[in-house]
Amino acid sequence: MKRINKEELINYIHTGDTIMIGGFMSVGIPETAINQLVQTNVENLTIITNDTGVLAGEDQSKLGVGHLLLHRKVDKVIASHIGMNAETGRQMINEEIAVELIPQGTLAEKIHAGGSGLGGFLTPTGVGTIVEEGKEMIEIDNRQYLLETPLKADVALIKAHKADELGNLVYQQAARNFNPVMALAADTVIVEVDEFVKAGELDPEAIVTPFVVIDKILVKEQ
């Protein structure tokens, strides 16, 4: 049975794991999973995510992934931007966490490469900037490219709108974002969904992520 409750999450995520977390700011994030993870003893995580949420004063309603940093669960962040969460910046400046910033399109393609079994890809993005430091440069037709290597994770926590009992997924508008590609790039994939339906109830033409890559399903707390 693929369906689990939030208390079972601890069986699949362990201290020191690398975790991909889907979403873009507060859209399409697995909130129930994140909130449950905060309450466990799991720590020293490396998280791969688009951003670390929004922290505006005392308002934590759009913090998302940032809850894990606020509760000191994270050792390293790999993301495309962190500027909307001052706590992430503070921890980085004080060397409490490591932060690796990657251009957004490059981040998505590194995850895609990890999920597709590719050894890497070439991109001109970042040439001549700090992004190129430590990376191999390759010239093709008189143009410089960076060799970017794939990203993979122990666990992916993703968010979808609906799942059937087999694990086929349907997304809702912009909440799709990083979630489908992350579902391909982790050893264990746990999806949080708004609705759980019987097999055969989803329109086959609407299914984006097939059941074969989904390990566990968690229904969102209302």
Is 144 a domain residue? no
Tell me if 30 is assigned to some domain. Answer: yes
Assigned domain for 113 exists: no
Enclosing H/E stretch for 154: strand 153-164
pLDDT tens-digit profile of 153-212? 999 999 999 999 999 999 999 999 999 999 999 999 999 999 999 999 999 999 999 999
Residues in the chain: 222
Considering only CA atoms, which of 203, 209, 195 is closest in space to residue 167? Answer: 209
Domain contains 62: yes
Q: How far is CA 5 from the centre of its chain?
A: 20
CATH number of the domain to which 48 belongs: 3.40.1080.10
- Structurally, how many domains does the chain consist of? 1
48 is a domain residue: yes
pLDDT, one tens digit per residue, over 11-65 is 999 999 999 999 998 899 999 999 999 999 999 999 999 999 988 666 676 788 9
The pairing of beta strand 143-148 with beta strand 121-123: antiparallel
Residue 41: give the domain boundaries: 3-102+151-219
Q: Does residue 110 form part of some domain?
A: no
Pairing of strands 169-170, 153-164: antiparallel
Task: State which amino acid sits at residue 198.
Answer: K
Residue 185 DSSP class: S
Q: Evaluate whether residue 146 is within a structural domain.
A: no
Would you say residue 205 lies in a domain? yes
